[in-house]
Amino acid sequence: MILDKLNRLKFNLPLIILSLIPYSFIVGPLFLEIVASCISIYFLFSAFKKKNFNLIKNNLIYFLILFYLYILLRSIFSFDPIFSLKSSFFYFRFIFFVLGILLIITQYKNAEKLLLKNSFISVILVFSGVIFEYLYYSKFSPYYNKDYVRFFSLFIDEPIPGSYMSRMLPFAILGYFCFFQKVDTKLNYKNLLSTFLLASVVISIYITGERTSFFYSIFVLFTLIIFSNLKIKFKLLVLSLFFLLFFAVNTYDDRVNKRMISFSKNQIFGENKSTFILNNDPNNKDQITIDLQKEREAKANKFPGFSPEHKRHYYSAYLMFRDNIFFGQGPRTFRKLCQKESFFVPGACTTHPHNTILQILSELGLIGMIFYIIILIFIIKFYLYLLIKKYFYFKSLDKNENINIFYYCALSISFFPFITAGNFFNNWLSYLYFLPIAFILKRSKKF
């Protein structure tokens, strides 16, 4: 009896670990690394035990390995190899993470559905936390706070619930339909419920005040409307409910309106000049002169960007790229080099330049940019294929294509070129970048 239970546990352990992935992003970086490491170790153990490395024999995996080797070499030859290698040396673990997930979802029939269902549950939990927090500080609550415009939900000390929900939304939508076994194109109670949940989650992302995340969620919403085989009346219902909730929240709550509408309009269309107080930066060992700071600030104000703050980051990254066009400065070096006289811009020093393209150009150069462009072509090619099939040949997408829409959507979110973005080498974000790749591989080739 005990032996049978142990064997059953041993058999189901990979499924248990896989189902923990969506929650590990919420619990914290350490737990995420533990779960990801277990998945990677499972792949390595299985591959060496059976001497089967067929999963690696794939062009996309070769591409990721080549990218890893490039950033590793770039770190070794950067101005501070030890510091740069902290982000690049163990980057291979993300490739093993993909391979581990790919192995589990090919070995176990219901593994993919299990992860998707748990993705749905995790998003609903974070969504519920946001709504509770929002109502707790609402106008009708004794704890109302007019300055409370960022929300934490289950993340406790980090205002990133919007980022999590927007990036996991494609998985959550598939997870919802997994609970009902199939995607029903008819307008019934199941789709009415899914309509309400989808619109509500997108609005909750809007409430969090995370503007980039809200853009991502809108992208997911419109991707669903443009490409899915759902009935027109269902799509119109989704849009109607979304706009109804959108106008209701903006009318009801000045906090959200000021953060998402007024503040954004002021940044984009207002007097887009820096108001940073010029001074010699005490953390800058080179002691940049006031004249040079003024000169850099004036040039930064003319640089394309969403706000004066973003322009500073962008211009500093541009100076780094211009200094080494082909190879960049090396992974993770922006945060150190932004203090140097050659790249210093008042108020620009931070961990990353807040734009994926500029981070890649400044830290990896044009060679690194080639990898990024290849990924973009890979994504655009898929969407063009769907557009041509659906709107030129007027053919419905098959089941596999309908599912792949959401995986490519999750991948697209991570590689949007012209929008503010997190640190490309951030561990938490990197796992989210790599997560959809396993499912895309699984549906693109039979292993």
**pLDDT computed for residue 32 by the predictor:** 97
Domain boundary at 359, 386, 412, which? 359
pLDDT above 80: residue 180: no
Residue bearing tokens 């035990």? 49
Question: In this structure, are 169 and 228 located in the same domain?
Answer: yes
Tokens 């390595």, located at residue: 44
Q: In this predicted structure, what is the pLDDT of residue 190?
A: 67
Of the residues 330, 359, 388, the one at which a domain ends = 359
- Identify whether 291 is part of a domain: yes
The pLDDT assigned to 285 comes to: 46
User: 295 and 332: one domain?
Assistant: yes
Residue 306 in contact with residue 267, Cβ under 8 Å? Answer: yes
Averaged pLDDT, 112-120: 95
* 253 and 280 belong to one structural domain: no
Cα dihedral angle (146, 151, 157, 159), rounded to 10 degrees?
-120
Domain count of the fold of the chain: 2
Q: Could you report the per-residue pLDDT of 321-379, keeping only the tens digit for each?
A: 999 999 999 999 999 999 898 999 888 899 999 999 999 999 999 999 999 999 999 99
Domain that residue 124 falls in: 112-272
Residue 210 CA: distances (Å) to CA of 165, 217, 319, 434: 11, 11, 28, 22
**Is 436 inside a domain boundary?**
no
pLDDT (mean) for 173-182? 79
Residue 138 within any structural domain of the chain = yes
- Give the model's pLDDT for residue 1: 60
Percentage of the chain modeled with pLDDT above 90: 57
The answer to whether the CB of 318 falls within 8 A of the CB of 303 is yes
CB 314 within 8 A of CB 303: yes
Co-location of 250 and 301 in the same domain: no
Provide the whole-model pTM.
0.91
Residue 233 domain-assigned (yes or no): yes
Q: What digits encode the pLDDT tens for the residues 253-312?
A: 777 877 787 777 777 666 555 445 455 555 554 456 777 778 888 888 888 887 888 899
Pick the last residue of a domain from 215, 243, 272. 272
Top-confidence residue, 159 or 184: 159
Q: Does residue 220 share a domain with residue 166?
A: yes
What residues contact residue 194 under an 8 Å CB cut-off, 6+ apart?
173, 176, 177
